[in-house]
């Protein structure tokens, strides 16, 4: 049976304001197109999701790479994971402050290390030793986020009851893809939550939480409030439902229902399996996504209901 490539990306699930819709649409569409070009040239799903996520890390619209949220010390700390469904190899980084594109470092770990996960200065040392140039943390900071942190501290952000509510910005980025060889992959990258404690790592870079890929089930990337997703190992949970026989769309919807019912969590999920079936679900007001397949290219700000 012929296999036709697919790439699906997300750029955050929350109450995306009207004046930010266009930038989100443009960002996810551009990222999907970058990954699609690789798939069209018979590239791997792994290379495609890496390239798509790099495009969003470079786009200041999203909470990934340059332009990410600042922690309470006013610094950018980034997390990322990439996983290959064919081999179950994965690479992840946490709390890096001097890597412009953490997904590139994660990919280097996957391909060039017997280990899976590096954090902080150890991750940065590994990246530098494997050809990734380090940058000053200041290069990752933009004025919009300096002002956002200042306002959050003024309002007592950590004490606000909706700190992790669906109206709070969760612009974590991710991608899932199927290549012409029948292999799937997933990648997720984030700057975490605004005003987070230094050293906090969320779900995005943890295998099975914010990202997972297995050819026997599905490739999954999530976005949203990380702590509940970590507790439920949500990406692996969703993938397992596909292995048990559910279609990715139904699995994604059930994952979000499970998240809400069990821990009152919120966010979004994208999925693809080796049969080319996709899943897109969320329980926030909006989610940014883009899709490229042989038949069509589409994008949207998914609106709840």
Contacts 24+ apart (CB under 8 A), 95-98: 95/119, 95/120, 95/123, 95/198, 95/199, 95/200, 95/201, 96/120, 96/123, 96/124, 96/127, 97/124, 97/137, 97/140, 98/124, 98/134, 98/135, 98/136, 98/137
What is the tens place of the pLDDT at every residue in 148-198? Answer: 999 989 887 554 444 444 445 568 999 999 999 999 999 999 999 999 999
Give every CB contact of residue 49 below 8 A, 6+ residues apart in sequence: 7, 35, 82, 175, 176, 177, 185, 186, 187, 219
Give the domain CATH number at 24: 3.60.20.30
Confidence category of residue 35, pLDDT binned at 50, 70, 90: very high
Per the structure, the count of domains in the chain is 1
Domain contains 171: yes
Q: Is residue 1 part of a domain?
A: no
Mean pLDDT throughout 96-102? 98
**pLDDT at residue 107 greater than cutoff 80:** yes
pLDDT for the residue 166: 45
pTM of the predicted model as reported, rounded to 2 decimal places: 0.93
Residue 195 lies in a domain: yes
11 falls within a domain: yes
Q: What is the pLDDT of residues 186-239, one digit of tens each?
A: 999 999 999 999 999 999 999 999 999 999 999 999 999 999 999 999 999 999
Residue 301 reports pLDDT greater than 90: no
Share of the chain above pLDDT 70, in %: 91
pLDDT of res. 129: 98
List the catalytic residue out of 172, 188, 222, 293. 172
- In the residue annotation, 111 being an active-site residue is answered as no
Residue 283 lies in a domain: yes
Residue 14 has a pLDDT of 87
Answer yes or no: is 47 within a domain.
Answer: yes
Q: Which domain holds residue 220?
A: 6-303
Q: What is the pLDDT of residue 24?
A: 94
Phi-psi map region of 195: left, alpha, beta (phi>0 left; psi -120 to 50 alpha): left
Burial 71-84 (b: 16+ CB within 10 A, else e): bbeebbbbbbbbbb
Residue 111 lies in a domain: yes
Whether the predicted pLDDT of 305 surpasses 70: no
Q: 24 in a domain, yes or no?
A: yes
Q: Over 50: is that where the pLDDT of 302 sits?
A: no
What are the tokens at 4?
A: 């036709």
First to last CA, the chain: 36
């Amino acid at each position: 049976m012929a296999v036709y490539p697919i790439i699906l990306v997300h750029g955050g699930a929350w109450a995306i304001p009207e004046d930010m819709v266009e930038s989100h649409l443009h960002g996810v569409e551009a990222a999907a197109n970058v990954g699609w070009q690789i798939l069209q040239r018979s590239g791997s799903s792994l290379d495609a999701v890496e390239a798509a996520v790099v495009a969003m890390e470079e786009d200041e619209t999203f909470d990934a790479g340059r332009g990410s949220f600042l922690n309470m010390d006013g610094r950018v700390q980034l997390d990322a994971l990439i996983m290959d469904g064919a081999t179950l190899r994965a690479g992840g980084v946490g709390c890096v402050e001097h890597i412009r594109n953490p997904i590139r470092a994660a990919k280097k770990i996957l391909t060039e290390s017997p280990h899976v996960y590096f954090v902080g200065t150890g991750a940065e040392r590994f990246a530098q030793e494997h050809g990734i140039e380090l940058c000053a943390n200041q290069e990752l900071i933009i004025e919009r986020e300096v002002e956002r942190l200042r306002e959050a501290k003024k309002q007592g952000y950590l004490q606000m009851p909706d700190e992790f509510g669906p109206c709070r910005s969760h612009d974590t980025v991710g991608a899932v893809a199927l290549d012409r060889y029948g292999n799937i992959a997933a990648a997720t990258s984030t700057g975490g939550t605004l005003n987070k404690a230094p050293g906090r790592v969320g779900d995005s870079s943890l295998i099975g939480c914010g990202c997972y890929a297995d050819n026997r089930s599905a490739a999954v990337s999530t976005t949203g409030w990380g702590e509940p997703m970590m507790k439920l190992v949500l990406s692996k949970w969703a993938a397992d439902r596909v292995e048990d026989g559910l279609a990715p769309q139904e699995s994604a919807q059930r994952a979000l229902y499970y998240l809400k019912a069990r821990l009152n969590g919120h966010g979004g999920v994208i999925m693809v399996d080796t049969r080319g079936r996709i899943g897109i679900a969320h329980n926030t007001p909006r989610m940014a996504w883009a899709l490229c397949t042989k038949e069509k290219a589409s994008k949207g700000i998914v609106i709840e209901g």
